[in-house]
Amino acid sequence: MKSMQTKWRWYSCLLLVLFSLPAYTQLNILGRVVDGKDDSPLPGASVYFNKTTIGTYANPQGNFHFYDIDLLNTELVISCPGYEVVVFKPTALQVNDKRLIFKMHPKKEMVQKAAVEIDLSRYTHLYFFYLNFLGITEEATKATISNERDIHFIEADSNTNFSAYAYTPLVIINTMLGYKISFDLVEFYFNRLNGRFYYFGYSRYEELGDPQKYVKQRRHTYYGSSMHFYQSLVAHKLYEQGFGAFLVPPIKDSTGVVKKRDAAEQQPGDEILPTPLSAQEILYIDSTNNFSIRVAGELVVQYNKDPFPKNFLSETTNMQGNLQKGVESYVSIKASPIELNKAGLPVDDTNIEYGGYWMYEKIANTLPINYKPN
């Protein structure tokens, strides 16, 4: 009798665990890409899940499909040279047993004042573009943009800032991490006076060759990165993975409006000590088990190990966020909450600004969100 009771308890626990696991449905996504003017097919259009290696191309009839796909809570992007990018965030209800039609429209001509691109000014623009788009890490030195001539620049009237655009996806060959990245550039902006920059777009990752060749280097890039931090946060393993998180509360002016903290304006006695935070204090979990970050202020994140890129950065730059052992990064959240996708990463990066060590993370140091280090 005792043996039967033990078995019953064991089966009951097993059932409880199984029913507690989230149910992710494997879905089939069928679609067609056509010209919005005459509904003619657009063969060769790139269809991919943003920031992943999951993608395909439209066939001669404009059709594409994904079988047994596990929705990643990220955008499905449809890209074709000369056309505006179409972005669609699918749900199970929208795509299951339905055929999707995506109509694409030609990109609008840029009518702003174009920068002179046949002399030294183009070289200068490209220098700042590479610096702020690819980065200045060792990974960036091993990456190239194969269609560089497709990048065009527009200068503002003040000549203190410029924008960049492209009518075709930028093709980045990252020989250190083993990825070909197709990047649909939506916006790039750089201010010469203060060095501030901003870029936004959609990226597709494809393997350059045998992934086993790049396992070690990809791990080197992953550990200590913002991606590593977010995934450790969602797994409630910050301490185990070597991270410490602290909150610097926001400061307000006399009217109560939150303003950006400026070290140059800090007066004696104004120092505010960061407050240690646990994963439970940073994360918010809603009734559908979705994660988001809902903290007000700036997160200070310390990694107590020396990540692989640190040595190169220490030798070639005056690296910010450098500790005697490890690195320190700053996460400024412009608008809360920050939704996290199934991979544990921010759904929208535009409301986050990084400082310290993570400010060096550009395209050349990114990994697809479906990457797993083990």
pLDDT in tens, 20-41: 334 445 788 899 999 999 999 9
227, 338: one domain: yes
- % pLDDT > 90, the chain: 52
289, 345: one domain: yes
100, 133: one domain: no
Mark which of 104, 135, 153 sits at the end of a domain. Answer: 104
Residue 112 lies in a domain: no
CATH of residue 49's domain is: 2.60.40.1120
pLDDT band for position 147 (cuts 50, 70, 90): very high
172, 303: one domain: no
DSSP strands (E only) in 146-235: 152-155, 161-165, 170-174, 179-191, 197-207
Residue 227 lies in a domain: yes
Residue 3 lies in a domain: no
Is the model's pLDDT at 9 over the cut of 60? no
Number of domains in the chain: 3
172, 284: one domain: no
Please state at what angle helix 215-222 crosses helix 308-316, rounded to 10 degrees. 70
Q: How far apart are CA 179 and CA 228, in angstroms?
A: 19
230, 349: one domain: yes
Q: How is residue 286 written in tokens?
A: 């809603």
Is the model's pLDDT at 344 over the cut of 90? no
Angle at 172 between CA 170 and CA 176, to 5 degrees: 170
Residue 302 lies in a domain: yes
Residue 199 lies in a domain: yes
Residue 181 lies in a domain: yes
> Buried b / exposed e across 347-374, counting CB within 10 Å, b at 16+?
beeeebbbebbbebbbbbbbbbbbbeee
pLDDT band for position 251 (cuts 50, 70, 90): low
* 205 in Cβ contact with 179 (< 8 Å): yes
Residue 265 lies in a domain: no
94, 183: one domain: no
Residue 132 lies in a domain: yes
pLDDT band for position 93 (cuts 50, 70, 90): confident
Q: Which residue has the higher pLDDT, 152 or 259?
A: 152
Residue with tokens 């990540």: 307
Q: How is residue 188 written in tokens?
A: 């790039």
178, 232: one domain: no
State mean pLDDT over 225-251.
91
Q: Which of 60-74, 245-259, 262-276, 329-343 has the lowest mean pLDDT?
A: 262-276
351, 228: one domain: yes
141, 30: one domain: no
242, 337: one domain: yes
Q: What Cα–Cα distance (Å) separates residue 72 from each residue in 49, 66, 109, 201? A: 8, 13, 33, 18
237, 311: one domain: yes
Task: Output the average pLDDT for the chain.
Answer: 83
Residue 333 belongs to what domain range?
A: 223-253+273-365
Spatial neighbors of 255 by CB under 8 A, at least 6 apart, are none
State mean pLDDT over 203-208.
97
Mark which of 69, 104, 139 sits at the end of a domain. Answer: 104
Q: What is the pLDDT of residues 95-136, one digit of tens each?
A: 777 789 999 999 876 544 444 444 558 888 899 999 999 999
Strand partners, 165: 152
